Amino acid sequence: MPLKSFKLTAAAAAGAIASAAMLLSAGPAAADNPPYSGCPEWALCLYQNGGGTGSKAIVTPPAAGGNAKIVRLTSTKFLNGEIADNQVSSWLNNSQCQIEFWDDPKGEFYPSDLDFAPSWQWGLKADYSFGTSKAYVNDRISSLRFYCS
Amino acid identity, position 1? M
pLDDT for 2: 54
pTM, 2 dp: 0.75
Could you tell me the residue ranges of all domains in the chain? 44-147
**In this structure, are residues 103 and 139 in contact, taking their beta carbons and an 8 Å threshold?**
no
Compute the distance between CA of residue 88 and CA of residue 68 in angstroms, rounded to an integer.
21
Q: What is the 3-state secondary structure (H, E, C) of 49-61?
A: EHHHEEEEEEECC
* pLDDT by residue, tens only, the chain of 149 residues: 554 444 444 444 444 444 443 333 333 334 456 899 999 999 999 999 999 999 999 999 888 776 688 899 999 999 999 999 999 999 999 998 999 999 976 666 667 889 999 999 999 999 999 888 999 999 999 999 999 87
pLDDT for 106: 65
Domain range 44-147, CATH class: mainly beta
